[in-house]
C-alpha cells in the first residue's frame, strides 16, 4: 500500500532537503562544507583539549619546578617542554596529512602492526622496560622514553577498521582467515598491553572497537554481549593482580593509607 504523507511531513521533508542542498552547496577553504565542517569541529576539539592540557600541566607543576634544580628553578619548565612536544607533533601531523591516507590504512598497515608488536614486546624486556609503581608501560633507552600502548591505539583501530570493512563489506576472505587476523591483529596486542598491566588503555581501545563494530554493521545485541563479557573479564583480571587489587581497595577507602597509596585520591577530593 502506498504511504501518504501528511502536510506536516511533506513540509519537514522539503525543509530538510532544502537545508541539505544549501549545506552541500557551501564551500569552506575550497572544500564542500559537508566534509570540511566536521574536520574543523574535530580540529577545534583537539586544539581545546591541547590548550586545556597545557593549562593543567602548568597548574600542577609550576611550584615543583620553581623549587627544583633539575628544572632550573623555572616555574614554566614543564610547560615549555610540553609546548615543544606539541610543536613537534603538529609538524608531524602536517607531514603525515600530505600523504594519501590509504598509505597508512592499508599499504603500510602490516609494517605498522609489526612495529607496534615489537615495541610492546620491548616493554617486557629488562633492558628496555621501565617500571613505575608496579607497572611496566614505558620504554627507556638512554634519553628516549616512550609509551608503546599509545601507538598501539592507532594501529589497533586501523587493523580493526580493515577487518570490519572486509567482513561486513562482503569480501572474498573466509571466516577462518578473518578470525586468525582478529586473534593476531587485535587480541594479541591487547593481551600484551594488559600484561603490563595497562587496563585503562585496554578499556579505551576496547570500547572504541565495539563502537566501530556497531557502526560497521554488527547488531546491538552482539556489541552489548561483547561489552558485558569484556567488563566481567576485566574485573576478574583486576582482582587477580595484586597491583590492581590494591588500587581498587585504595579507591574504596583512600584514608586507609592517606600519606602513600591514598594520597593522590584524597588530594583530588580536597581539590
- 256 contacts 209 by C-beta, under 8 angstroms: no
Average pLDDT over the chain, rounded to an integer? 81
Give per-residue pLDDT as tens, 209-222.
999 989 888 888 88
Give how far Cα 167 sits from Cα of 102, 146, 164, 224, Å. 19, 34, 5, 19
Confidence of residue 44 (pLDDT cuts 50, 70, 90): very high
Give per-residue pLDDT as tens, 222-251.
889 989 998 888 888 877 777 777 778 888
- 254 contacts 262 by C-beta, under 8 angstroms: yes
Give per-residue pLDDT as tens, 118-135.
888 888 776 665 565 556
Residue 2, pLDDT score = 45
pLDDT at 46 over 50: yes
| DSSP character at residue 253 | -
Q: How far apart are CA 32 and CA 198, in angstroms?
A: 41
Residue 135, pLDDT score = 60
* pTM exceeds cut of 0.85: no
Residue 36, pLDDT score = 86
Amino acid at each position: 500500500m502506498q504511504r501518504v504523507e501528511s502536510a506536516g511531513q511533506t513540509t519537514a521533508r522539503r525543509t530538510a532537503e532544502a537545508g541539505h542542498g544549501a549545506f552541500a552547496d557551501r564551500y569552506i577553504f575550497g572544500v564542500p562544507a559537508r566534509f570540511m565542517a566536521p574536520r574543523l569541529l574535530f580540529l577545534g576539539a583537539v586544539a581545546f583539549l591541547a590548550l586545556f592540557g597545557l593549562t593543567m600541566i602548568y597548574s600542577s607543576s609550576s611550584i615543583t619546578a620553581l623549587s627544583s634544580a633539575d628544572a632550573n628553578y623555572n616555574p614554566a619548565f614543564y610547560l615549555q617542554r610540553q609546548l615543544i612536544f606539541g610543536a613537534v607533533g603538529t609538524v608531524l601531523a602536517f607531514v603525515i596529512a600530505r600523504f594519501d591516507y590509504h598509505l597508512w590504512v592499508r599499504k603500510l598497515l602490516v609494517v605498522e602492526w609489526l612495529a607496534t608488536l615489537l615495541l610492546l614486546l620491548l616493554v617486557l624486556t629488562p633492558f628496555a622496560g621501565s617500571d613505575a609503581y608496579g607497572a611496566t608501560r614505558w620504554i627507556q633507552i638512554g634519553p628516549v622514553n616512550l609509551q608503546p600502548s599509545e601507538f598501539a591505539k592507532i594501529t589497533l583501530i586501523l587493523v580493526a577498521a580493515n577487518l570490519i570493512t572486509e567482513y561486513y563489506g562482503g569480501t572474498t576472505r573466509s571466516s577462518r582467515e578473518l578470525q586468525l587476523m582478529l586473534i593476531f591483529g587485535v587480541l594479541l596486542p591487547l593481551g600484551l598491553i594488559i600484561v603490563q598491566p595497562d587496563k585503562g588503555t585496554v578499556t579505551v581501545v576496547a570500547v572504541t572497537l565495539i563502537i566501530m563494530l556497531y557502526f560497521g554493521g554488527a547488531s546491538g545485541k552482539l556489541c552489548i554481549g561483547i561489552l558485558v563479557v569484556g567488563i566481567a573479564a576485566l574485573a576478574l583480571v583486576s582482582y587477580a593482580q595484586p597491583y590492581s587489587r590494591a588500587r581498587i581497595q585504595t579507591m574504596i577507602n583512600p584514608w586507609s593509607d592517606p600519606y602513600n597509596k591514598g594520597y593522590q585520591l584524597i588530594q583530588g577530593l580536597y581539590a
